[in-house]
Amino acid sequence: MSSRERSDDESFHTFVARSTEPLTRLAYLLCGDQHFAHDLVQTGLVRLYQAWPKVRDKDAPDAYARKVLLRCWLNERRRPWRRAESHSGEVPDHPAPATDLTGAAHLKEVLRAALTKLPPRQRAAVVLRYWSQHSVTETAAILRCSEGNVKSQSARGLASLRAALDGMGAEALEELTS
């Protein structure tokens, strides 16, 4: 192994140690499933490593990693067994919502359900814009689409989430905004 390769591996180790958590959180928001999120992070890192010599010095690898992760997810969505899982009513790895949920628990269930109903690109745009706090320009770069497309996708996604939140009780909304 050359010194350059060794240096690349060292920096990749460091990157993985530092970035696994935020990447997992992003993956979870995108797919809504713990195990799927872990698969996505691992798959994304494998692909990221293959480009590591090119990205480590040129761009912020975090942004590139998010881009890779997102592409992994968008394409995994197309996998037949992923669609089968989402259609077949498989038991999710979070509990079914109870009927008397209040506050944050209710909020999470409402948001989870609303997110699930969003088309993939809308969901990605909403997560990148309103959770990752990326600008429209950054989101467009990650999604590889126009800024106008990001605006329309995120506006539609946001409207859907808003509609879902409008049906929540005052208690949960209060907790949400506190």
Q: Which is nearer to another protein, 137 or 174 (CB)?
A: 174
* Minimum separation from the CB atom of position 29 to another protein (A): 5
- Contacts of residues 35-41 at CB distance under 8 Å and 24 or more positions apart, as own/partner, are 35/93, 36/76, 36/82, 39/76, 40/69, 40/72, 40/73, 40/76, 41/69
Q: Identify the residue among 90, 102, 116, 163 touching another protein (CB under 8 A).
A: 90
As a whole number of angstroms, the distance between CA 110 and CA 53 comes to 42
Is 28 one of the binding residues for another protein (CB under 8 A)? Answer: yes
* Minimum separation from the CB atom of position 99 to another protein (A): 20
Q: Identify the residue among 3, 4, 20, 148 touching another protein (CB under 8 A).
A: 20
Q: Identify the residue among 96, 100, 102, 107 touching another protein (CB under 8 A).
A: 107
| CB 110, CB 168: distance < 8 Å | yes
Q: Identify the residue among 2, 3, 81, 89 touching another protein (CB under 8 A).
A: 81
Helices (H), 77-127: 80-87, 103-117, 120-126
DSSP conformational letter for 89: T
Q: Identify the residue among 2, 3, 4, 43 touching another protein (CB under 8 A).
A: 43
CA dist list (Å): 170 to 106, 128, 173: 11, 27, 5
Q: Scanning residues 113 to 132, which ones bind another protein (CB under 8 A)?
A: 115, 119-121, 126-127, 130-131
